[in-house]
Structure 1
Amino acid sequence: MAEKRRWRELSTGARTAIVMAAVVQIGLIGLAHGDLSRRTDDQVRGPKRMWRLISLVNFVGPITYFLVGREPAPRR
């Protein structure tokens, strides 16, 4: 098993990648929760509470919500 390295032992590139991944993940969660707040219950497939919990699962949760959890917008 690989030895764990501390933050200060990581290269600058590795630190940057970790920070950028965290920013993207937090951004996706914020977008998903904001979208859920603006939509009515009939515009979401399934309970909103379930989608809020699912959106907390890494990158997969918010992306799944945007691809599967929203009803298509009505055409104007």
Structure 2
Amino acid sequence: MPAKRWNELSPRTRKLVVVGATVDAVLRIAALVDLARRPAAEVRGSKRRWVLAVTLLNSVGVVPIAYFLRGRRPQPA
């Protein structure tokens, strides 16, 4: 099945693509900002690897969500 061009997509599908890309971009930016501000001791694993994963992997928001759920250590009270 050949890929459709943007012009061939229905208006609803175009909106879904734009919304999905926006959500993905916001999650990536939030994860990168959090990584930049958080000390390395509060991150599970290497900060460099998290940054590479968040920026380079095409994950449709999965990698940033994984970082927020599993990549951060709880802050001491």
Q: CA deviation at 1:3?
A: 3.0
Give the aligned partner of residue 50 of structure 2: 51
Alpha-carbon distance between aligned partners in 2 of 1:16 and 1:47, rounded to the nearest angstrom: 36
- SS at 1:4's partner residue? coil
Q: Write the distance in 2 (CA, Å) between the matches of 1:22 and 1:68.
A: 23
Higher-Rg member (1/2): 1
TM-score by length of 2: 0.89
Letter in 2 for 1:24: V
Which letter does structure 1 place at the counterpart of 2:52? L
Distance 2:50 2:2 in 1: 36
C-alpha distance in 1, partners of 2:52/2:16?
A: 26
Aligned counterpart, 2:76: 74
CA distance in 1, matches of 2:43, 2:2: 44
Long gaps (5+) in structure 2: none
**Deviation of the 1:4 alpha carbon:** 1.9
Q: Which has the higher contact order (CA 8 A, sep 6+)?
A: 2
Give the RMSD, CA atoms, in angstroms.
Answer: 1.0
TM-score by length of 1: 0.90
Return the letter of the residue paired with 1:19.
V
Q: Which SS does the other structure have where 2:75 is aligned?
A: coil
Moved over 2 A (4+): none
Give the corresponding residue for 1:41: 40
Alignment of 1:20-35 (within 5 A): 20-35=19-34
